[in-house]
């Protein structure tokens, strides 16, 4: 008889020891870092990997036959299969390195989009999209005289699947949708979206910048066609983005940038492109940070993505309960922690979110304020912006308590200047 055991909780105290910046004191108080949706902190293992590359085998890759170049090339290319395994991809050649998720989306829009989108075609988007998964499609639609179609949200901020069913038609060429909203925390039911898209012959690009660091994903099982994400939101360095695409799609797509490494042969008047993935990686890449990104993947795997997700559900549930104790506060997005990520977007009645952020910073609490690169969504919600607290593997319930205490202080300090 099988006995179901509760998943082992994260040892956040032990994890925190790996993150040097979390030892910082600001204004005489211990840093409370709650801005993980913008970027995560980096463990010493990742920091050391960058230092080790520059200290011991700094060299360009793919081109040299000397020891340093061969070592650097081997370490760099070893990251592709790690990333492929992490997202459930079958072929490491489907992993393309970019500077960030934004560049990865632009690559698809400029390469696949210019090749396949025609006048009158439709590109389907959710109302929750980050500007990175909106503006590239606006640019393409303008160039091709195509049409952007926006889906609807339910009252609690979830994607309205019925609106997708209504939107799909023979002109629908691609759905570009977030895995998880960086404002509302809403998690999109990707398998359902992809199944509907497939039945209509429509491709799906998933912006996983917010979701991949927190939720295990399997691109084969889900059925998507493209996935993008950024390593800096998942314990890795800045400057490394990832594009995964089905091999048959990538092979049919033309390169966007020309230069070294993306070619097979060059003549005075023409060239032949390299094979995937290298035909999309012109020039010297971000070698040190890609290598360190592999260490970040190892670090997350050592913890376990299921445990990370369980930890954040517990934190989000706790945070929602603590926020419910505050007076004159509005929290946006789903109230069920199982349907959202570790993101709490909120406003205090009568107070500008920027003022809220400045005052809590005096208590060494780091949150994000503003429109979060989602201006159309803010207009839909009739908001100028929100304050946002976001969690990760090293976040503790005591830090949420410190945030709540600081917000109570904000209301006392700024109550007389309410808007």
Cβ pair 34, 365 in contact under 8 A:
yes
Distance between CA 367 and CA 321 in Å, rounded?
A: 19
Contact call for residues 236 and 46 (beta carbons, < 8 A): yes
Please report where in the chains the tokens 């060059």 appear, as a residue. 266
| Residue 255 near residue 273 (C-beta atoms within 8 A) | yes
Which has the closest alpha carbon to 37: 339, 342, 299?
A: 342
**Active-site entry in 4, 194, 235, 373:** 373
Angle at 113 between CA 109 and CA 118, to 5 degrees: 145
Backbone dihedral region of 134: left (phi > 0), alpha (psi from -120 to 50 degrees) or beta? alpha
Reported as half-sphere exposure (CB side, CA atoms, 13 A), residue 136 has a value of 22
Residue 194 is among the residues annotated as catalytic for this protein: no
Q: How far is the C-alpha of 322 from the C-alpha of 100, rounded, in Å?
A: 34
Q: φ, ψ for residue 97 (rounded to 5)?
A: -90, 130
277: preceding bond cis by omega (within 30 degrees) = yes
Neighbour tally for 298: CB within 10 Å:
15
d(CA 12, CA 310) in angstroms, rounded, equals 13
Catalytic residues: 373
């Amino acid at each position: 008889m099988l006995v179901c055991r509760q998943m082992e909780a994260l040892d956040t105290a032990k994890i925190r020891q790996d993150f040097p910046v979390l030892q910082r004191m600001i204004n005489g108080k211990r840093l409370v870092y709650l801005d993980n949706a913008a970027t995560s902190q980096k463990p010493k293992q990742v920091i050391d990997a960058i230092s080790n590359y520059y200290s011991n085998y700094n060299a360009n890759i793919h081109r040299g036959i000397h020891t340093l170049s061969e070592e650097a090339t081997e370490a760099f290319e070893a990251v592709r299969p790690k990333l492929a395994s992490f997202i459930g991809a079958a072929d490491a050649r489907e992993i393309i390195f970019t500077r960030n998720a934004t560049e990865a989306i632009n690559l698809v829009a400029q390469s696949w989009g210019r090749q396949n989108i025609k006048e009158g075609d439709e590109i389907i988007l959710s109302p929750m999209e980050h500007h990175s998964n909106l503006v590239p499609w606006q640019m393409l639609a303008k160039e091709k005289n195509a049409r952007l179609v926006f889906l609807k949200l339910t009252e609690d901020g979830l994607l309205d699947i019925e609106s997708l069913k209504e939107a799909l038609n023979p002109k629908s060429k691609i759905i570009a949708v977030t895995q998880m909203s960086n404002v509302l925390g809403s998690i999109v039911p990707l398998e359902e979206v992809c199944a509907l898209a497939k039945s209509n012959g429509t491709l799906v690009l998933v912006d996983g910048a917010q979701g991949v660091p927190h939720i295990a994903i399997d691109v084969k099982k889900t059925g998507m066609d493209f996935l993008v994400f950024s390593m800096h939101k998942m314990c890795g360095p800045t400057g490394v983005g990832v594009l995964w695409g089905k091999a048959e799609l990538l092979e049919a797509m033309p390169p966007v940038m020309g230069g070294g490494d993306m070619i097979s042969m060059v003549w005075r008047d023409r060239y032949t492109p390299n094979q995937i993935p290298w035909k999309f990686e012109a020039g010297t890449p971000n070698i040190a940070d890609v290598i360190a990104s592999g260490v970040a993947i190892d670090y997350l795997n050592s913890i376990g993505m299921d445990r990370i997700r369980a930890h954040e559900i517990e934190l989000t549930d706790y945070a929602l309960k603590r926020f419910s104790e505050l007076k004159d506060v509005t929290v946006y997005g789903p109230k069920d922690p199982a349907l959202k990520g570790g993101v709490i977007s909120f406003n205090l009645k009568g107070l500008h979110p920027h003022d809220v952020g400045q005052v809590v910073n005096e208590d060494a609490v780091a949150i994000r304020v503003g429109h979060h690169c989602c201006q159309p969504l803010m207009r839909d919600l009739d908001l100028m912006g929100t304050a946002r607290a976001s969690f990760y593997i090293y976040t503790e319930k005591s830090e949420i308590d410190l945030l709540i205490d600081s917000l109570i202080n904000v209301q006392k300090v700024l109550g007389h200047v309410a808007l």
